[in-house]
């Protein structure tokens, strides 16, 4: 028996073998899922980035872009939908690699439909928890920020931030794409209620840029919005 909230889930199926894509797609639709599909890695990546899916079934051997690359790029673009990988039998390394780059589970080909459906149901049930856990880790460019562990790395090298810099970076990350005035940053990050220390914000932003931007004078992530403040663009 399917629960209503599960049956309405939207699944993206990225698989190049048309027979499997059709069989699987039909079966998922019969189970009540809304199913969209892509026939190669690049198309799958574009679809998964452009709209929301509750789950992505991702084959590893794909034309254009393999499943590993698709999964990696999805995660670095902030797509948090659970990913279920389809791996070839006996390739243990594939499973390990898949889970290491952000896949949530895998099923070995050839699989029994019942097993695949059980895994899909299990992943859909733990979506909220999985989302919470993952939302603590943010990546942009080669920078990785773990908010819960208060760890920042850049290209695998640890980045040392002061607690104020970390608080500032956290605030930017939690408000992506918004223009944040110096006054607001001071109030929210420093707790000051005066607008007289706005230079403080500039100094800290400059320091953060030194640490996380490739070219601090031409920042890609921490942008200046003329006369207004700053904006974080992951
Ligand atoms: Ca394939």
Distance 53 CA to ligand 1 centre (A): 21
Distance 60 CA to ligand 1 centre (A): 6
pLDDT of residue 143: 93
Q: What DSSP character marks residue 131?
A: H
Sequence-distant (6+) residues with CB within 8 A of 140 are: 76, 221, 234
CA torsion sign, 32 to 37 to 41 to 42? negative
* pLDDT score recorded for residue 135: 61
Q: What is the pLDDT of residue 46?
A: 92
Instruction: Please list the helix, strand and coil fractions of the chain in percent, rounded to the nearest 5, in that order.
Output: 45, 20, 35
- DSSP reduced 3-state for 117: helix
Q: Assess contact for 222 and 232: CB atoms under 8 A.
A: yes
Q: What's the 90 CA to ligand 1 centre distance in angstroms?
A: 16
CA of 63 to the centre of ligand 1 (A): 8
Q: How far is the CA of 59 from the centre of ligand 1 (A)?
A: 6
Q: Decide: 91 and 68 in contact? Cβ < 8 Å.
A: no
- Show me where the domains of the chain are located: 10-133, 137-232
Q: How far is the CA of 15 from the centre of ligand 1 (A)?
A: 6
Q: In angstroms, what is the span from residue 107 Cα to ligand 1's centroid? A: 13
For residue 21, report the distance from its CA to the centre of ligand 1, in Å: 10
Q: Domain 137-232: which CATH class?
A: mainly alpha
pLDDT confidence of residue 43: 96
CB of 166 closer than 8 Å to CB of 216: no
pTM recorded for the entire structure: 0.54
In terms of Cα–Cα distance, which of 121, 36, 40 is closest to 82? 121
Q: How far is the CA of 10 from the centre of ligand 1 (A)?
A: 21
Angle at Cα 188 formed by Cα 187 and Cα 190, nearest 5°?
70
Residues of the chain with pLDDT under 50: 1-7, 129-132
Partnered with residue 38 across adjacent β-strands are 14
The predicted structure's pLDDT at residue 132: 47
CA–centroid distance, residue 179 to ligand 1 (Å):
43
So what's the architecture of 10-133 in CATH? 3-Layer(aba) Sandwich (3.40)
Query: What does the DSSP 8-state code read for residue 169?
Result: H
Q: How far is the CA of 74 from the centre of ligand 1 (A)?
A: 18
């Amino acid at each position: 028996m399917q629960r209503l909230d599960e049956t309405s889930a939207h699944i993206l199926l990225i698989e190049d073998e048309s027979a499997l894509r059709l069989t699987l797609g039909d079966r998922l639709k019969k189970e009540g899922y809304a199913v969209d599909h892509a026939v190669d890695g690049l198309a799958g990546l574009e679809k998964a980035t452009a709209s929301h899916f509750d789950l992505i079934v991702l084959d590893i051997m794909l034309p254009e872009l393999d499943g590993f690359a698709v999964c990696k790029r999805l995660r670095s673009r902030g797509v948090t939908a659970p990913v279920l990988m389809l791996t070839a039998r006996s390739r243990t390394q594939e499973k390990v690699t898949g889970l290491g780059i952000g896949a949530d589970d895998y099923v070995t080909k050839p699989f029994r439909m019942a097993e695949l459906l059980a895994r899909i149901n299990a992943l859909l049930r733990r979506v909220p928890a999985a989302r919470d856990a993952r939302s603590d880790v943010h990546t942009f460019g080669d920078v990785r920020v773990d908010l819960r562990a208060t760890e920042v790395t850049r290209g695998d090298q640890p980045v040392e931030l002061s607690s104020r810099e970390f608080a500032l970076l956290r605030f930017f990350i939690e408000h992506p794409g918004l223009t944040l005035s110096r006054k607001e940053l001071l109030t929210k990050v420093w707790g000051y209620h005066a607008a007289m220390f706005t230079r403080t914000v500039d100094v800290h932003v400059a320091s953060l840029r030194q640490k996380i931007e490739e070219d601090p004078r031409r920042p890609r992530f921490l942008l200046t919005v003329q006369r207004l403040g700053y904006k974080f663009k992951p």
